[in-house]
Amino acid sequence: MLEKEERLLMQDADEVRRNAEAIREMKLTTAVRNGVVKGRKRGMRRVYSYGAGLAAFAAAAVFITWSIIGSPLTKQEDTKLEQTASSDSVTSFDLFAPIGARDKGFAAAVQQNLLKPIKQGVEKDGYRIDVAGAVSDGRRAYIMFSVQNHTKHGASPIPDSLKFGDDEAPSVRAEAKNVRNGNLLPGETGYYVYSTNLAASANYSHDATLSVKVWDTVSQYYAKGLDISFNLDTSMLSGQEHVYHPEGALTIDGQTINVSQVQFTPLGTYVDLKYDPSNTKQIFKVISPVLIGKSGDKIEKLYYPEIISNDNTQATLWYKNSSIDQMETTSLKVFGIGAVEKDRLKIVIDLKKREIISAPDDKLQLLPPEQKDGAGEINFYRKVEHAQAENNFGMSLSDTFTDASGKKYKRQPLNKLATTGTSYSTKTDIMEDYYFYYFGEEAADYPQPLTIEVKKYWIPVMETQSIQITP
């Protein structure tokens, strides 16, 4: 749950990436999700690993705090609150409209007057939550809500869940954008739009419930049980959508990518990709996918899709709403893939000799150990030129490894700060990847070599291919 809360509180950093514009088609690529790619600026993404000692200190600090002011659980109640009608002063759709500048789907809903009024709210512990309205196209849902802070303390509202009957909507990539600051001072009212992706195959109930909890920044506890129930038909826009199932597939570097479905809705265009199980390479990403609509001499192009679903078998690209589905033909054009041979998705290292035996490519190196580095600490490094830097992502490794006898071990925590991250330059198109891994003090005595599974690894393969996706 902590990861979900942090994601919701830090979401605004993700949105900046959507604003970059370029001229040449090859430069019109997807911005990196956790950074800013604009012009020729340089970005850096870092993740800090904290050791067990630091974690223990933090736990002790939390215990001391809770001992003084009371546990966050002391004010949790499960009693159902009575819903009442909301005031127009906190549910007018105009109050939420500014968020459309940062969310193309919500902007489309506002522009087309698709929002369904709800105007129901609950009050508890000095907070009033009102749901103003909602909209869904079956693939995404948007819920507008306001929070009034009638307490004497600062407050930070966080959507806890969105349920349809007994089914909870996916929380991955869910976010709550706000009109101003997410933190509310005493007496303030905040306006938020919660958005989440929906499972395309799910048959959701119309009985929706939004659960919101509010963090008291002084008393350090969550006010929970702020649940508002309302009717929301996730297929409310089905009469305004067009769905196609293209024939054929993209073949890039011998790898097959099937376009299983294209769905045009009033909130956007969804392109569902399926990676053929027989592919010899694991595809992690398609590079610079562009939708191209043509009618006679008229051409319209859609860039910058958001990847709203992605794993080792499939991906869903979401483009902004446009009139492209009204054109005679629409095609999907991609400029390559980020992919690695499946049998090379591992790093084999002799820790005693500090030597890499095999890796997904020959660019991976071990940085020389620093004097303060202990046994079992490894700093991986790789530099990639012609990296398609605006599309890249950092490597990700498994938290477990095996020794030469096949025995499995868990990656160890470290009692100091260590940096893992990716730097990239759109000017030079160079990417540098850093990854710290701590095997443990005794790992050099394990039967060598040691093997780590690779979860993600950026190797761009540039090859332009297109497929027509509408009749």
Going from N- to C-terminal start, the domains of the chain cover 72-238, 239-340+462-468
For residue 9, give every residue at least 6 positions away whose Cβ sits within 8 Å of its Cβ, in sequence order, or none.
156, 158, 182
Mean pLDDT of the 396-423 span: 90
Q: Which two tokens stand for residue 378?
A: 């490894």
pLDDT at 238: 93
- Return the beta strands (E) in 13-115 as ranges: 42-49, 84-85
Mean pLDDT of the 172-177 span: 91
Same fold, 72-238 and 239-340+462-468: yes
Q: Give the count of beta carbons closer than 10 Å to the beta carbon of residue 85.
A: 10
Of the segments 27-41, 77-91, 296-310, which one has the largest average pLDDT value? 296-310
* pLDDT category of residue 120 using cuts at 50, 70 and 90: very high
The Cα 393–Cα 395 span in angstroms is 7
The Cα 10–Cα 244 span in angstroms is 36
The class level of CATH for 72-238 reads mainly beta
* pLDDT category of residue 78 using cuts at 50, 70 and 90: low
Mean pLDDT of the 260-285 span: 97
Q: Which two tokens stand for residue 242?
A: 């067009």
Mean pLDDT of the 357-376 span: 87
Mean pLDDT of the 101-112 span: 96
**CA 424 to chain centroid:** 20
Q: Which two tokens stand for residue 396?
A: 């990700």
Edge-to-edge order in the sheet of strand 396-402: 355-358, 346-350, 450-456, 396-402, 408-410
Q: Is the pLDDT of residue 175 over 80?
A: yes
Mean pLDDT of the 424-444 span: 93
pLDDT at 325: 87
pLDDT at 379: 93
Domain 239-340+462-468 maps to which CATH number in 2.60.40, 3.40.1710, 2.30.30, 3.30.1070?
Answer: 2.60.40
The overall average pLDDT reported for the chain is 84
pLDDT at 200: 87
* pLDDT category of residue 212 using cuts at 50, 70 and 90: very high
pLDDT at 372: 67
Mean pLDDT of the 426-435 span: 93
The Cα 113–Cα 138 span in angstroms is 17
Higher per-residue pLDDT: 8 or 300: 300
Q: Is the pLDDT of residue 15 over 50?
A: no
231: left (phi over 0), alpha (psi -120 to 50) or beta: beta
* pLDDT category of residue 58 using cuts at 50, 70 and 90: very low
Find where tokens 């905040």 sit: 190
pLDDT at 97: 96
Q: Which of 45, 47, 46 is nearest to 37 (CA)?
A: 45
Q: Is the pLDDT of residue 9 over 70?
A: no
402: left (phi over 0), alpha (psi -120 to 50) or beta: beta
The Cα 290–Cα 210 span in angstroms is 35
